[in-house]
Amino acid sequence: MTKTPFNKVSEKYKSEIDALIAHISSGDGIVRFQFLDHLASIDPMDVKDNSAVKKMLYPVGIDLPVRESITDPYSKDFVEIAVFSGSGYIEDKDINYSYKSVNTSQSHGKFLLDTKRIEDAKWVRQLLMSNYCENNQYRDTSILPKFRYIDETSERNYRMSQRNVRYDSLALHRVMGEKDMRLFGASMMWDDNLTYDELNDRIGEMAEKFPEEFLRLSDAKDRDARVYLMRALNSSLVIYDDKNDKIKIAESGEVICALDASDGKNVLTRFVDTIARQKNGDDVLSIIKNMVDNSIREKKKAADGLNKVPVPKLNKDKGSTIELE
C-alpha cells in the first residue's frame, strides 16, 4: 500500500510561514485573501454619461486547492501538502481531505480565515505555500495563480508613504517662485515662452500626478545638470555623439562624459544619472558649468561693446568741432 509523507517541509520554511502569518494577520489572527478570477459584467441599470459601468462578478462557490506538490525553498525537496485530518505518513486510501468552498460573490472576491480556529489555521498554511498563491515568492510560476494573500500592514504603510510623498510634492510646488519654475521648465525642455500661469499649472499637474518624479527632478543638483547640459548643447559648446553615446567638447572633440545605457531615457536624464553614479561626476558638471558661464559672460561683454553709446568730445584743436569716441 502506498504511503505518502504530507506537509514535511523544513523547519526553516515552517518558521518563515509562521513569521508571515504573524505579519499579515495584524495581531488579530485573521488572514485575508483575494481571489483573482472574476468576470466583468455590465449592469444595464447602472449607466452613467452613456457609458456602462463594469462590475466584477465572483463565483458563489470557489473550491480551495486541497492537495498539491510544492518545492521546499530550503531543502529543495518536492513536498506534498494537503489539508486533512491527521498528520505524518498516511495511506492514500485512508486520507480524509478537508474540502473547503468559499463564497466571495458578495465580498468583491475576498475571504478571510481565522488562525485561532484549528481548521482555518491549517488552510492558511496550505494557501500561503500554494503554487496558486500569486504573491508566494516560491511558487511554481508555470501554474496560473488563483488568489493572493492581503498584506494589510505593508499595504497600509505603502499608502501612507505615498500620501507623504504627494504632500511633500505639492508643498514644494506651492513655495516655488517664478525663477525656480523657469529653471525647472528649462530642465524639462519645455517651451521658454510659456506664461507664468501656464508654467505654474503644468508644474502643479506634474507635482500632483507624478510626485516622486517631480521631487527627484526638483533636486537642485539634478536640475542644474539638466539646465547646463541643455544650454551647452544649444550653444554648441558640447556635442552629443549619439553613435558612441558620449558628450564631447565641440571645439576639441575631447570626451568629458560617457553616458550610461539608454533604457529609453533622453540624453538629459541619462546625463544626470551618469554623473550621479560616477566618482568624478561633480567635476564633469563643473566643466560644463564653467563653459556655459564663460560663454554667457563673453556674449554679454560683446553685446555691451556693440551697444556702447559714443561719447561726444570737444576737439580743442579744431575750435568748436565735436568728435565722437
Sign of CA dihedral 171, 175, 177, 180: negative
Sign of CA dihedral 177, 180, 184, 185: positive
Identify which has the larger pLDDT, 59 or 223: 223
pLDDT at 96: 53
How much of the chain, in percent, has pLDDT values that exceed 70?
Answer: 76
Q: Using alpha carbons, list the distances in angstroms from residue 296 to 79, 98, 222, 265.
A: 72, 80, 21, 29
Name the phi and psi angles at 67, rounded to 5. -150, 140
Contact 54, 38 (CB under 8 A): no
Q: What is the pLDDT of residues 210-220, one digit of tens each?
A: 999 898 888 77
d(CA 73, CA 57): 35
Q: What is the pLDDT of residues 118-141, one digit of tens each?
A: 888 988 999 999 999 999 999 999
d(CA 301, CA 58): 74
Q: Does 284 have pLDDT greater than 70?
A: yes
Which has the minimum average pLDDT: 41-55, 224-238, 270-284?
41-55
pLDDT at 149: 93
Q: Is 261 exposed, middle or buried (0-12, 13-18, 19+ CB in 10 A)?
A: exposed
Contact 25, 31 (CB under 8 A): yes
Which has the minimum average pLDDT: 24-33, 62-71, 279-288?
62-71
pLDDT band per the 50, 70, 90 thresholds, residue 322: very low
With a CB cutoff of 8 Å and minimum separation 6, the contacts of 136 are: 128, 129, 130
Q: What is the pLDDT of residues 237-280, one digit of tens each?
A: 999 988 888 889 998 899 988 888 777 777 888 888 888 888 88
The DSSP symbol for 94 reads G
Strands 101-102, 67-71: pairing is: unpaired
pLDDT at 233: 85
List the chain domain ranges.
Answer: 3-150, 152-218, 220-306
Contact 10, 75 (CB under 8 A): yes
pLDDT at 293: 87
- Is the pTM above the cut of 0.95? no
**C-alpha grid cell for residue 131?**
503554487
Contact 218, 206 (CB under 8 A): no
d(CA 127, CA 136): 9
Q: What is the pLDDT of residues 75-102, one digit of tens each?
A: 999 988 888 765 444 444 444 555 566 6
With a CB cutoff of 8 Å and minimum separation 6, the contacts of 112 are: 30, 31, 32, 33
pLDDT at 41: 47
Helices 211-218 & 152-175, crossing angle to 10 degrees? 50
Name the phi and psi angles at 153, rounded to 5. -65, -50
Q: What is the pLDDT of residues 160-202, one digit of tens each?
A: 999 999 998 998 899 888 888 888 888 887 888 899 999 999 9
Identify which has the larger pLDDT, 261 or 315: 261
d(CA 7, CA 89): 10
